[in-house]
């Protein structure tokens, strides 16, 4: 099996593949768009001489995407995709009869006892940062480790050493290969990226509505304390920790406290909708409280003070300053390609309607759990690639792996505290030419805390990975450049 004629791997891709083949179980950390899949294909080409290959991807669309890529880059390869959509009896037959199998980890986990693991020489794990806790990657990796070399691929393994250690331990990683845009062997292939964090002042109407909601939140937290339980801060994290503590209590008052604390947590979400999203997102959230089954949500939905704030918002409804800035950015370059990321379904739908009203060609892009079918996902990507619209408004589904065309601008409607997701989002811009990333941050809101958290975690991740590469972290052996070429191993 030979690599497709005319495909020329980049120097760093060749070196990383060589390193993996020489050292064994390898973690590859490479920014989105820098060719992790081709590295995997180079290793697959070699390992096919020793046995079959299992390639894991976390979603069905990614499985389909990798199948197309492998078939294209390795013409004539005996490759098949196996997911839960295939009947169990059919899956049983395919596990034994194909050279390259691309599958979701959940499907492999369900069939693990029916698979002859000894026939596989390589296990490739895409988006390997998920290989923690009870996620199916962990169990599958443990089952295949005695028989297969493991190659883990990710744009970011995370910023906490404990998490990275768990990944490397679960996969038996002995070798780490990472690159970023500043490495000498990567620079020739990297297009310039302009990253701008745009601070936006809150509108007076938003400040007043938030002031009233925060006063109401303080009242609910004080009610929890009235029933004898501590809430150490007004943050959601502190409230959730308090909730976990109260549940374990033997005091009879805990049920009253839990009801008020539940209301406080729901109210905190409502405040987040208001200050980081829009008045429409806030109104949409609070309108659904009375349909929730929790006593806290129902208590809050009947609170007259909340209804007064709702009335104020409806009376003083204005466009969020973020929306104004978003329209300004797009209007300055109306013929460019954009991905606008937002965390919440209601806000994505609002942005689609609002941007359409402003005359922009846009479409939402969400996960299947939000009722957006796989067919709709593939149609949206294809239409975006063909230029039928210019702005893709995406949830987190747009961050990982999917073959979304490169864009000129990536816009974060709000910063996110996850360094993994931030890196993945940024990687959507500037693959073929200079790219632009804009992060919208509302001043004096939790946007600022999310921004600081992602920056801190990303710096931590880079320090940890650098130490692992040089062998100073005590987790895996350091990598080294090889003196041979791929011909020595292929």
Residue 334 exposed, middle or buried by CB count within 10 Å (0-12, 13-18, 19+): exposed
In this structure, is residue 483 part of a structural domain? no
pLDDT (0 to 100) of residue 162: 85
Average pLDDT over residues 31-36: 81
Say if residue 287 is in the same domain as residue 399: no
Average pLDDT over residues 284-309: 93
Average pLDDT over residues 452-466: 82
C-alpha span between 115 and 119 (Å, rounded): 9
Say if residue 297 is in the same domain as residue 420: no
Query: What is the band of 399 on the pLDDT scale with cuts at 50, 70, 90?
Result: low
The answer on pLDDT for 474 being more than 70 is no
Average pLDDT over residues 297-316: 96
> Residue 121: which H helix or E strand, with range?
strand 120-126
The answer on pLDDT for 486 being more than 60 is no
C-alpha span between 228 and 258 (Å, rounded): 11
Residues 95, 97, 98, CA angle at the centre, nearest 5°? 85
Say if residue 106 is in the same domain as residue 183: yes
- The structural domain count of the chain equals 3
The CATH number for 290's domain is 1.20.1320.20
pLDDT (0 to 100) of residue 487: 31
pLDDT (0 to 100) of residue 470: 52
In this structure, is residue 479 part of a structural domain? no
pLDDT (0 to 100) of residue 432: 59
Answer yes or no: are the C-beta atoms of 175 and 478 closer than 8 Å.
no
In this structure, is residue 475 part of a structural domain? no
Between residues 453 and 207, the one the model is more confident about: 207
Say if residue 141 is in the same domain as residue 210: no
Q: Which of 409, 412, 379 is nearest to 394 (CA)?
A: 412
In this structure, is residue 445 part of a structural domain? yes
Say if residue 38 is in the same domain as residue 178: yes
Say if residue 275 is in the same domain as residue 336: no
C-alpha span between 205 and 200 (Å, rounded): 14
Answer yes or no: are the C-beta atoms of 313 and 281 closer than 8 Å.
no
Could you tell me the residue range of the domain that residue 244 belongs to? Answer: 204-315
Which letter does DSSP use for residue 186 in this model?
Answer: T
Say if residue 299 is in the same domain as residue 392: no
Which letter does DSSP use for residue 344 in this model?
Answer: -
Say if residue 167 is in the same domain as residue 245: no
Which letter does DSSP use for residue 274 in this model?
Answer: I
In this structure, is residue 120 part of a structural domain? yes
Q: Which of 286, 315, 344 is the last residue of a domain?
A: 315
Q: Which of 447, 408, 381 is nearest to 192 (CA)?
A: 408
Write out pLDDT tens, residues 102-117: 999 999 999 999 999 9
For the chain, give the mean pLDDT. 87
Say if residue 36 is in the same domain as residue 151: yes
Q: Which of 162, 189, 216 is the last residue of a domain?
A: 189
In this structure, is residue 197 part of a structural domain? no
The answer on pLDDT for 475 being more than 70 is no
In this structure, is residue 487 part of a structural domain? no
The answer on pLDDT for 403 being more than 70 is no
Between residues 32 and 4, the one the model is more confident about: 4
The CATH number for 382's domain is 3.40.50.300
pLDDT (0 to 100) of residue 253: 94
Say if residue 127 is in the same domain as residue 51: yes
Average pLDDT over residues 295-299: 93
Say if residue 55 is in the same domain as residue 128: yes
In this structure, is residue 1 part of a structural domain? no
Write out pLDDT tens, residues 126-157: 999 999 888 999 999 999 999 999 999 998 88
- For tokens 């990507």, the residue is 381
Between residues 432 and 172, the one the model is more confident about: 172
Q: Which of 398, 399, 411, 425 is nearest to 337 (CA)?
A: 411
Say if residue 395 is in the same domain as residue 411: yes
Q: Which of 290, 315, 340 is the last residue of a domain?
A: 315
> Which of 129-143, 361-375, 443-457 is least confident?
361-375
Residue 443 exposed, middle or buried by CB count within 10 Å (0-12, 13-18, 19+): exposed
């Amino acid at each position: 099996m030979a690599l497709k004629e005319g495909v020329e791997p980049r120097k760093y891709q060749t070196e990383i593949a060589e390193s993996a083949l020489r050292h064994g179980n390898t973690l590859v950390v490479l920014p989105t768009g820098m060719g992790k899949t081709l590295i995997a294909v180079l290793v697959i080409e070699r390992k096919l001489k020793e046995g079959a290959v299992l390639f894991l991807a976390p979603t069905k669309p990614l499985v389909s995407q990798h199948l197309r890529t492998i078939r294209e880059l390795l013409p004539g390869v005996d490759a098949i995709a196996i997911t839960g959509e295939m009947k169990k009896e059919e899956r049983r037959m395919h596990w034994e009869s194909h050279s390259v199998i691309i599958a979701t980890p959940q499907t492999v986990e369900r069939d693990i006892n029916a698979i002859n693991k000894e026939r596989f020489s390589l296990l490739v794990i895409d988006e390997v940062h998920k290989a923690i806790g009870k996620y199916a990657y962990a169990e599958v990796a443990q089952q295949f480790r005695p028989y297969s070399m493991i190659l883990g691929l990710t744009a970011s393994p995370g910023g906490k050493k404990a998490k990275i250690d768990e990944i490397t331990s679960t996969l038996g990683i002995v070798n780490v290969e990472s690159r970023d845009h500043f490495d000498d062997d990567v620079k020739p292939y990297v297009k310039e990226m302009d990253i701008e964090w745009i601070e936006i002042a809150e509108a007076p109407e938003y400040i007043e509505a938030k002031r009233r909601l925060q006063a109401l939140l303080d009242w609910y937290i004080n009610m929890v304390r009235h029933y004898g339980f501590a809430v150490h801060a007004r943050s959601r994290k502190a409230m959730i920790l308090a909730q976990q503590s109260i549940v374990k209590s033997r005091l009879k008052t805990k049920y009253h406290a839990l009801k008020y604390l539940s209301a406080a947590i729901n109210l905190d979400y409502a405040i987040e909708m208001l200050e980081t999203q829009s008045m429409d997102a806030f109104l949409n959230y609070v309108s659904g409280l009375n349909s929730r089954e929790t006593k806290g949500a129902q208590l809050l939905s009947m609170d007259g003070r909340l209804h007064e704030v709702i009335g104020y918002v409806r009376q003083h409804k204005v466009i969020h300053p973020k929306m104004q800035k978003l329209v300004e950015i797009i209007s300055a370059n109306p013929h460019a390609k954009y991905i606008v990321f937002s965390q919440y379904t209601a806000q994505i739908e609002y942005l689609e309607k609002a941007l359409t009203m402003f005359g922009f060609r846009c479409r939402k892009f969400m996960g299947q759990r939000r009722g957006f079918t796989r067919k709709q996902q593939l149609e949206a990507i294809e239409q975006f690639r063909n230029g039928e619209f210019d702005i893709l408004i995406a949830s987190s589904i747009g961050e990982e792996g999917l073959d979304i065309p490169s864009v000129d601008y990536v816009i974060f409607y709000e910063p996110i505290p996850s360094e993994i997701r931030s890196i993945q989002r940024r990687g959507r811009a500037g693959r073929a030419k200079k790219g632009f990333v804009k992060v919208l941050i509302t001043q004096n809101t939790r946007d600022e805390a999310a921004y600081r958290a992602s920056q801190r975690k990303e710096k931590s991740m880079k320090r940890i990975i650098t130490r692992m590469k040089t062998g100073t972290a005590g987790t895996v052996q350091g990598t080294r450049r090889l003196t041979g070429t791929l011909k020595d191993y292929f």
